[in-house]
Amino acid sequence: MKRRAFLGAVTAGGIIAALGGGKYVLAQEAEAEKARNEKRPDGRPRLPPNQYLLRKLRDMGGQEGDTTPGNHRLKVYGEVEAPFEISFKDLLAMQQVEQVCDVHCVTKWTVLNSKWTGVKVADLAARAKVKPTARHVVFESAHDYTSNVPLREALAPNVLVAHRLEGNPIPRANGAPLRALVPDLYFWKSAKWLTAIRFLSSDRPGYWETRGYHNHAEPWKEERYG
């Protein structure tokens, strides 16, 4: 089922489970109500408007890249002084971050307290020596998928190149071996099967943005469509 159709069906109260052949368990309404009333450190409600809770992350399709860690290399380039490529093994040798965060999909599901392990995009940017002219980041993935994020938000401390989910290697369907993690934007910005991070002086809308999705994608403003 395509994203727009799924979103519309959820809005109409039609689809909760058995999506794409899988079953996805809703959290109890009491949990959702608690999340609506709970505040983040920035004062926003923990559960963004018109989102419902799932118990675990679900996959949202897409074309897989090569999921073999030994074959994988991540390219960091663009408006930088020291572009580089790094193997999966060498990425694991960098400082690792474990974080627990909430993720929000444009199709209206949210998962609270998901646990991720990876490397901060900010650390990769520092190694590449990003130029002062850089203003935007594009995450590039298999089969020419891209997602764009303003530089300031891409360098936030909770934005990762992630390789583990809930203590295990990220599953194939969720972007193995590497995916971006941008938890404060709708989850399509967190590109799966990540192959490159490109720094740009001007914005370049990505795959979904050029197909009618919002260029920024903040869940609390419900920036779903452009």
What pLDDT is attached to residue 60? 77
Looking at residues 14-18, what average pLDDT do you find?
40
d(CA 61, CA 72): 20
What pLDDT is attached to residue 24? 61
Evaluate if residue 20 carries a pLDDT over 70: no
Evaluate if residue 63 carries a pLDDT over 50: yes
pLDDT in tens, 81-138: 999 999 999 999 999 999 999 999 999 999 999 999 999 999 999 999 999 999 999 9
Write out the two tokens for 109: 């599901």
What pLDDT is attached to residue 21? 42
What pLDDT is attached to residue 3? 54
Q: Is the dihedral angle over the CA atoms 185, 188, 194, 199 positive or is it negative?
A: negative
Q: Is the dihedral angle over the CA atoms 108, 62, 173, 123 positive or is it negative?
A: negative
- Which helix H or strand E contains 34, and what residues bound it? helix 29-37
CB 104 within 8 A of CB 114: no
CB 156 within 8 A of CB 125: no
Instruction: Find where tokens 């390789």 sit.
Output: 163
Evaluate if residue 19 carries a pLDDT over 70: no
- Selection from 167, 35, 175 nearest residue 110 by Cα: 35
- Could you tell me which residues come within 8 angstroms of residue 5 by beta carbon, excluding any fewer than 6 positions away? none
What mean pLDDT is reported for the chain? 90
What pLDDT is attached to residue 26? 74
- Percent of the chain at pLDDT exceeding 90: 79
What pLDDT is attached to residue 6? 46
Evaluate if residue 7 carries a pLDDT over 80: no
Where in the chain are the domains? 3-221
d(CA 226, CA 36): 26
User: Cα separations (Å) of 122 from 107, 191, 223?
Assistant: 28, 16, 25
Q: Look at 19-23, 78-82, 144-148, 184-188 and tell me which has the smallest mean pLDDT.
A: 19-23
Beta bridge partners, 86, equal 74
With cut-offs at 50, 70 and 90, classify the pLDDT of residue 28. Answer: confident
Beta bridge partners, 54, equal 26
pLDDT in tens, 201-223: 999 999 999 999 999 999 999 99
Q: Which CATH number fits domain 3-221: 3.40.50.720, 1.10.3720.10, 3.90.420.10, 3.40.50.300?
A: 3.90.420.10
Write out the two tokens for 196: 């490159």
With cut-offs at 50, 70 and 90, classify the pLDDT of residue 11. Answer: very low
